[in-house]
Amino acid sequence: MSSENRCENCIIRQFNSLRAMSKEELKQVSDSKTSKTIKKGEAIFEEGEKLNGVFCVREGVSKLSKLSSNGKDQIVKLATKGEVMGQRSVIAEETSNLSAVAVNDMELCFIPKEVIVNTLHKNPDFTFEVLRLMAHDLKEADDVIVNISQKTVKQRIAEAFIYLKANYGEDAEGFLTLSLSREDIANVVGTATESCIRIISEFKKKGLLKSSGKKLGILDEKKLKDLAEGF
């Protein structure tokens, strides 16, 4: 294995809990991990599946979603470069409550749970780091709950675009780096695909968004923000 594939040398690690691991622990992770390439649209794991480890995102974006009883998928979180997926299930020793599907082509590392659990019980710094990140996820989940229940679909879609720009940026021509389908956006904000399409069309007509092929870009961020806040 080339040295760039060793966790010790992986830059990604700086963004997640693995940065709190000792050299020996990292070596263990590195020796037991496997790399995976996942194509856009492919599943990484399914809701209800027992996870034998966690997935560290090296490249690409994954949508974490949960199927509701009415057959619709609700996207609960987008996981990006550096983020670790599946830790909640491993920690709680439960099957996954979410499915993970690649939004674009991805590179992942799979780390067997034994190494993780082992470190969790031995290295308080690592455990605390995992805890800190989960505390952050929980806060974000609280925010999502409030937004979904108190804001209109229009507000939430406006907010989604601001989020996409803030978290994934835009290219030289001002188009969003991460392009989600209308259906995915609908599943993020919790609405019907048609409603989502309608509102995006409206935003384009009003000069808030622009589009070129599959790409969408923000033209008037301030107005979008005002809209999201309810003005």
Partner DNA sequence: AAATATATATGATAATTGTCACCTTTTCAA
Partner DNA sequence: TTGAAAAGGTGACAATTATCATATATATTT
CA distance 211 to 46: 33
CA distance 3 to 5: 5
Contact residue for DNA among 194, 206, 207, 230 (CB under 7 A): 194
Strand duo 34-38 + 106-112: pairing: antiparallel
User: Contact, 156 vs 147, CB < 8 A?
Assistant: yes
CA distance 95 to 114: 16
Place of tokens 């031995």: 122
From the list a copy of itself, DNA, none, pick the one residue 42 interacts with, judged by a Cβ distance below 5 to 8 Å according to partner type: none
Place of tokens 């509701």: 68
Contact residue for DNA among 68, 124, 181, 206 (CB under 7 A): 181
Contact residue for a copy of itself among 22, 114, 146, 202 (CB under 8 A): 146
From the list a copy of itself, DNA, none, pick the one residue 219 interacts with, judged by a Cβ distance below 5 to 8 Å according to partner type: none
Contact residue for a copy of itself among 149, 213, 214, 222 (CB under 8 A): 149
Which residue type is seen at 59? Answer: E
CA distance 61 to 100: 10
Interaction between residue 162 and a copy of itself (CB under 8 A): no
CA distance 151 to 99: 26
Contact residue for a copy of itself among 125, 171, 194, 226 (CB under 8 A): 125
Of 6-14, 28-36, 140-148, 199-207, the segment contacting a copy of itself by CB under 8 A is: 140-148
Contact residue for DNA among 200, 208, 227, 228 (CB under 7 A): 200
* Helix 113-122 and helix 124-150, axial crossing angle in degrees, nearest 10: 110
Place of tokens 């107005």: 223
- By residue count, the chain amounts to 231
Footprint of a copy of itself on 81-100 (CB under 8 A):
87-88, 91-92, 94, 97-98
Residues making contact with a copy of itself (CB under 8 A): 66, 68-70, 72, 74, 76, 87-88, 91-92, 94, 97-98, 120-125, 127-128, 130-132, 134-139, 141-151, 189-191, 229-230
Residues of this chain that bind DNA (CB under 7 A): 70, 152-154, 181-183, 190-195, 197-198, 200-201, 211, 213-214
